[in-house]
Structure 1
Amino acid sequence: MSGYDLNSASDHWLQVINTLPSLVELHLISCNLSQIPQHLSNTNLTSLTNLDLSYNIFNSSMPRWIFSLSKLVYLDLTSCLFHGPDLVDRVSGFHNLTNLKVLHVPGNDFMNSTLVLRGLLSLTSLEVLDVNTCNIAEPILSDLSNMTSLVYIDLSQNQILETLPNSFQNLCNLTFIDIRDNFYSGNVSDFLNNLCECKSPKLQYLAFSANRLFGHIPDRIGQLQNLVTFDLAFNKRISGTIPESLGRLSSLEDLRLNVNLLSGRLPDSLGNLTSLKSLEISFNNLSGTLPQSLGKLGNLNFLSVHHNSLSGLVTEDHFANLTALDTIRAEGNTLTLKLSDNSWVPPFQVGILSIGSWNLGPHFPSWIQSQTNLWDLDIANALISDTMPSWFSSTFSNIDYLNVSFNRIQGFLFQNVSFLAPKAVLDLSDNDFEGPIPETFNEAEFAVLDISSNRLSGNPDPFLCPSLEKSRSLKVLDLSNNNLSGVIPDCWLNWPNLSVISFQNNNFSGEIPQSVMELPSLESFNIRNNSLSGEIPASLLNLKSLQILELAENDFYGRIPMLIGREETNLKLLSLRSNKLDGEIPVELCRLTSIQILDLAHNNLSGTLPTCFYNFSSMFEKRELSPFVLYDVPFQVKVLGSASLVAKGRELKYTSILYLVTTLDLSGNKLYGSIPKELMGLLGLRWMNLSGNHLTGKIPEEIGEMTLLESLDLSVNEINGRIPWSISRLSLLSSLNLSFNKLTGQTPTGTQLQTFNESSFTGNLLCGPPLSELCENKGISPDANTGSEKDQNYDESDVNWGFVISVVLGYIISFWAVIVPLIASKEWRNKYFNFLYKMWFKVRNTICK
């Protein structure tokens, strides 16, 4: 009855079942049942051996009557979602099913019970155990080693935390074992050697990927000659070389060793795996070249060796018999394709060709023209110095992903974009394309368009403001690092799905167009280093999705806009550096609780430092920050936030690790007052620059709590007092500049502070290493500034007030004991002044002699 919709049917089918007293098999697969009919439990099913209720979402308690079916041999409850508060009591009857041989229960949380799992272990006749995706956390694999009838074990996609057992030599009937996506640890070498103890191992499927296994692949792996699938991917710790004995697995079809620490050369014996269909060994440390023997793998359709350290020559012979090949992922290596015949036509027709960072140049590879099924092409950084061939646009019809970046491709951008599929990714960045952006580009339904770092000129108005208005799918637009000029067009409502706009390092002028503020999905807006002017619109800072706002190095003037409304924003990076902004820093900026990078340097800002910066929770907390993933692009491409930041005296561009950076840069302004101690509460801050202002007062002692600081610049201010001893606790500090202030005393000793250059402290009244001025020459004790932190923090609470009062009273009593008699008695006054005169006379005569 499988496949019939019984949920809305009458009970007639139950009546039919009731007429079958000797029913042996009942299959109700995908019958859209939401509950088991109550009358079914009253039916005579004592002869039932096979029960299949799979793919019905009951979402109810496990029925008790199932465990009374003592003759049951086959039970399939896949994706039934059985649960219930009294579930453990109901299913404890698993041990009654003594004849059960096949159990499929994926997707049922009731299996996450110690009592249930212990009941399973009593099923000594069990041959198939399928409990994947059951939310199991209890160790179970070790206990299965005594169930010698097991042929099939699937524990995948659970949360099992367990060490691989070394007791599987008894399971010689095992053909299938899948423990993928768990938390298994241990030495995979020992486990595989243990499996090889069987005289005639029958294992065909072994999948241990996405665990925490370590060790190497043993030479004895060649004894598992029935293996069809061997999967150790995504363990990240499996090391050593790929053994030659792997080539003896003549039945192997699927080999997955990617994302580990494998090294050495690929063995030539891989060419003996004539049944191999998929070879995945990407993201390892493999070296040498591709073995020519791979050309013998006539059944291979998926080749993935990308992101290793492979080098050397690849010729036509490497692909000689690869007629079934559909996917080549080999980017991230430094291989050189050397063809003996420029008219070479490959024997394959691939859909994915990813060979970026290979040496394919200097001419554009003409053999690509033969790959008419191509929909994903990556030939970035391939040393191509040529123009885009005229055949390119007419050869392909459904390109989803095209990456030719980081070459030296010249000429104009192609006019015909009809070869691009809807929501395509087009990356032409870092080449030598010139001329205007073709108007025809607005005919393509891009998801990502990156034509940055070329020599494009003119204004993008014809492309951005087409005559035919329609909503478009473009999410990422990068025109940065070109020679584009004019006013930024004000027609952004044509592009409502935009997440990323980057126009930095061009020659745009005018103001920020109003329609930009109406893009609801905008996450990154970068117009750094242009000639834009006007006041910064407040509504720009209020875009709810905005994470990155880069307006640095323009001519914006006026005050920093106050945030409108009371809702917190998602802004993580705000850079207004090198503009003409004035006024005070508005306290409303303190509502940017997600801010990680705040750069207001080199403006005309005045006033004091806001104490409310303490609200910057991403700077305040020492915690793991999330990457700036602005848009997930198909085919393993992610658009990450990027920014140019000035730190440690240099301007650097950050992309993939931008989320690790926390920066506060207020340098080059007219800020005054003291450094608030609340600022020292930004414990997650890595770079802080307050230089070039008019700050006064002392460096707060609490600065020693900012233990993640890597760069600190307080130079060119009017800060006075000593350098606090606590600064010596900043063990990660690699750049320090306290020069040209009014600091005094000795530089703290016993830390890495002495390793900094003398220029870090010059222009102060300091002494001691690394300065050439010795403290003894200034009358300062060598240990004057190296006392304990308690000494440095001495305050009124440490004063012995009893002692102070006693001294003061003593002076007062002594004073009146002498002065009062002199005032009250004339005789005492005469004797006292006569005494002073005689003493003066004696001293004068002594000096004259």
Structure 2
Amino acid sequence: MSSKFGGFASTLVYLNLSSSFFGGRVPLEVSRLSKLVSLDLSSEYYQPPVLDKVTFGRLVGSLTKLRHLTLDGIDMSSINTSHALMNLSSSLRSLSLSDCDLRGKFPSEILHLSKLVSLDLSWNFDEPIDKVTFDRLGRNLTELRQLSLSGINMSSITPHALMNLSSSLRSLRLKNCDLRGDIPENIFKRPNLKLLDLGGNQNLNVPKLNHSSNLEVLGLSDMSISTEVLDSVCSLQSLKHLYLIQASFPGGRGFPLSIMNLSSLELLYADGAQFSRGVSVLPVSIGNLVSLQYLSLSNCSLTGSIPTSLGNLSQLSVLELSVNQFGGKIPSSLANLRQLKYLNLGDNQLEGRIPDEDSLRYLNLAHNSLIKVEQLPWTVLDSLDLSCNAIHGHLPIPPHGTTAFLISNNSLSGEIASLICNVTSLQILDLSSNNLIGVLPHCLGNFSNSLSTLNLGMNKLHGIIPPIYAKDCQLSYLNLNGNHFEGPLPRSIRNCRELEVLDVGNNKIKVSKGCSNNEPPPSNLSGGNDGSNSNITFGWKVVVIGYGCGLVFGLIAGYVVFQTGKPKWFVTLVEDQQHGRQKNPKIGNRSGGRRI
């Protein structure tokens, strides 16, 4: 992060650098922006910026006009929380310090910020919040409308103490707080409360609810919920978003039909939910939830056919049914979903035609029983995964705008058509473990300035590797293992300055002993004698021998999202599936897409 921001000291009132992937230390010069009213430095970078105690002390001491401060994801582990927060301006209206690695006790010093409307201290602190501090929080912060304490140990707080919180609360997030006992029904009846997340509190008992609740968003993920309680939840006519991720339903006898009563439901996120002890069938009546925009039922032990009634959900933009036991044909009615952007039917036993809906941006049909693919029909498609099927015939060519195309572990035959080089936006191309023959098209080395992953391993390709890698080559992963290539590595491969993985094992490639300037290549890298004069000079970081069936979702996400900046709906879904800590998915809306 540049130290030049101090040059704006006399004018800047609003600064938002959220999710900008900046690293290093937050510069002291930020504290010179004395006119700032709003500052957002939040980060989701895996190496977050560091905010030390000196800079933070100057920041809170100098920025006296601040009304909104957001530092989510910033490393603040070196800061003494109690002393630092004591000096925050009493005029603050919103403070968000989620996931900042703050340690020790919950800071009672925060309670002097009586004008706070929004407070997020989630996923911090080593020690439980005590009863006295929590009671004062309710008495002092009477204007709070949004409160998130997710991930903070509240085992010493009785659920009835939640009734002392501000009556103005519209949003209350208490995910994974180790709350125990019976939560009072009156919490659900608060007239202003629209969002309540209690997920992950496995020792918390949720009561049967009545129709008087105004809740629009409810999180009960990773909890054990009786069918009677779920039936009462499904009587809440105002409910729009319901989170049941990895929830279990003792006594359940299949997919709960009471969910069909939620006529206003826009989002159902229930990945990993255990609806019964065995398998369940997705009922035809799912097509009655005509307001649904987001339906995610991955890994729910669902079997039978995918209901054709899903074609009635005209507002649906995300459909996630992967890792189930669906069989039969992919319903042709899915082509009716004109708003559908994301479709994941991977890891089932499906067959038949691929839905040809033009609106799709992400399609995953990996690990199914597809046999034949006609010419791919879409005009716009960011990511297409057809790996691990039984597809035969010639290699289909993806749409021009595709950034990730995976069709490994099939039975494709014939040559790689040079038409593939027309897909100039490709970043990931995986054609490995097929029966492709012939020589590589000469255009394959330089047709795309963005191609970072190329896997042609385990085919029957032959000839030399074309010497056509352009100076702006972006390849970081190149796998040609298990073919019949011969001759030397081309000199032009040294133009690939980003190359981290190169696998040319099990060929007849000649590689000079001087090709590595960091580590010696493994012995199987050369299929012939080491007599070449290639003199490749790039640095080896990793050399691998290939991998199993298809790329993992995380690799696709890493390239497709973080290198290209995909739409918010895609970023949100990726991060909800991939974020390593149990704090996600968060409910709500925050820049960066982690919350829905």
Is the TM value for this pair above 0.5?
A: yes
Corresponding residue number in structure 2 for 1:268: 206
User: TM-score if structure 2 supplies the norm length?
Assistant: 0.71
2:362 counterpart of 1:430? no
CA distance in 2, matches of 1:267, 1:222: 16
2:431 counterpart of 1:496? no
2:183 pairs with one of 238, 241, 245: 245
2:384 counterpart of 1:445? no
Corresponding residue number in structure 2 for 1:105: 37
CA shift, 1:506, in A, is 1.3
2:474 pairs with one of 545, 568, 584: 545
2:310 counterpart of 1:384? no
CA shift, 1:503, in A, is 1.3
Corresponding residue number in structure 2 for 1:603: 527
- Given that 1:62 and 1:84 are in contact with CA atoms closer than 8 Å, whether structure 2 keeps it comes out as no
Corresponding residue number in structure 1 for 2:239: 300
CA distance in 2, matches of 1:332, 1:280: 14
Q: Secondary structure at the match of 1:420?
A: coil
Question: Aligned in 2, Cα 1:318/1:196: closer, same or farther, shift over 3 Å?
Answer: farther
CA shift, 1:476, in A, is 1.0
CA shift, 1:198, in A, is 6.0
**What one-letter code is carried by the residue in structure 2 that aligns with 1:526?**
N
Question: Aligned in 2, Cα 1:196/1:275: closer, same or farther, shift over 3 Å?
Answer: farther
Post-superposition CA distance 1:641-676 (Å, at most 9, x none): xxxxxxxxxxxxxx999xxxxxxxxxxxxxxxxxxx
CA shift, 1:208, in A, is 4.1
Corresponding residue number in structure 2 for 1:54: none
Structure 1: any 5+ residue segments left out of the alignment?
1-56, 64-75, 92-102, 122-127, 465-470, 620-626, 640-654, 658-849
CA shift, 1:165, in A, is 4.8
**What one-letter code is carried by the residue in structure 2 that aligns with 1:451?**
L
2:408 counterpart of 1:480? yes
Corresponding residue number in structure 2 for 1:194: 134
CA shift, 1:231, in A, is 2.8
- Given that 2:40 and 2:70 are in contact with CA atoms closer than 8 Å, whether structure 1 keeps it comes out as yes
Post-superposition CA distance 1:111-165 (Å, at most 9, x none): 96747855899xxxxxx97241489977676687799x96965332597956555
Question: Aligned in 2, Cα 1:514/1:613: closer, same or farther, shift over 3 Å?
Answer: closer
Structure with the bigger percentage of strand = 1
Matches within 5 A, 1:688-727: none
1:323 pairs with one of 256, 259, 263: 263
Question: Aligned in 2, Cα 1:129/1:509: closer, same or farther, shift over 3 Å?
Answer: closer
Corresponding residue number in structure 2 for 1:278: 217
2:295 counterpart of 1:332? no
**What one-letter code is carried by the residue in structure 2 that aligns with 1:427?**
N
Cα RMSD after superposing both structures: 4.9
Structure 2: any 5+ residue segments left out of the alignment?
18-26, 42-53, 544-553, 581-596
2:393 pairs with one of 458, 461, 464: 458
Question: Aligned in 2, Cα 1:117/1:481: closer, same or farther, shift over 3 Å?
Answer: closer
Q: Secondary structure at the match of 2:213?
A: coil
- Given that 1:631 and 1:638 are in contact with CA atoms closer than 8 Å, whether structure 2 keeps it comes out as no
Corresponding residue number in structure 2 for 1:751: none
Q: Secondary structure at the match of 2:392?
A: strand
CA distance in 1, matches of 2:367, 2:317: 22
Question: Aligned in 2, Cα 1:178/1:129: closer, same or farther, shift over 3 Å?
Answer: farther
What is the count of residue pairs matched by the alignment?
Answer: 515
1:410 pairs with one of 351, 367, 371: 351
**What one-letter code is carried by the residue in structure 1 that aligns with 2:512?**
P
- Given that 1:166 and 1:190 are in contact with CA atoms closer than 8 Å, whether structure 2 keeps it comes out as no
CA shift, 1:580, in A, is 3.1
CA shift, 1:326, in A, is 0.9
CA radius of gyration, larger in: 1
- Given that 2:85 and 2:110 are in contact with CA atoms closer than 8 Å, whether structure 1 keeps it comes out as no
CA distance in 2, matches of 1:502, 1:457: 16
- Given that 2:82 and 2:109 are in contact with CA atoms closer than 8 Å, whether structure 1 keeps it comes out as no
**What one-letter code is carried by the residue in structure 2 that aligns with 1:521?**
S
- Given that 1:352 and 1:377 are in contact with CA atoms closer than 8 Å, whether structure 2 keeps it comes out as yes
Corresponding residue number in structure 2 for 1:420: 358
More off after superposition, 629-638 vs 525-534: 629-638
- Given that 2:493 and 2:536 are in contact with CA atoms closer than 8 Å, whether structure 1 keeps it comes out as no
Corresponding residue number in structure 2 for 1:820: none
Question: Aligned in 2, Cα 1:107/1:381: closer, same or farther, shift over 3 Å?
Answer: closer
- Given that 2:195 and 2:218 are in contact with CA atoms closer than 8 Å, whether structure 1 keeps it comes out as yes
Corresponding residue number in structure 1 for 2:48: none
CA shift, 1:493, in A, is 2.9
Higher relative contact order (CA 8 A, sep 6+): 2
CA distance in 2, matches of 1:472, 1:598: 37
**What one-letter code is carried by the residue in structure 2 that aligns with 1:331?**
D
CA distance in 2, matches of 1:297, 1:142: 44
Q: Secondary structure at the match of 1:630?
A: helix
Corresponding residue number in structure 2 for 1:507: 435
- Given that 1:329 and 1:352 are in contact with CA atoms closer than 8 Å, whether structure 2 keeps it comes out as yes
CA distance in 1, matches of 2:240, 2:520: 45
CA shift, 1:483, in A, is 1.5
2:294 counterpart of 1:352? yes
Q: Secondary structure at the match of 2:275?
A: strand
Paired-residue identity, %: 18
Structure with the bigger percentage of helix = 1
CA shift, 1:239, in A, is 5.0
Matches within 5 A, 1:13-24: none
CA shift, 1:247, in A, is 4.0
- Given that 2:286 and 2:310 are in contact with CA atoms closer than 8 Å, whether structure 1 keeps it comes out as no
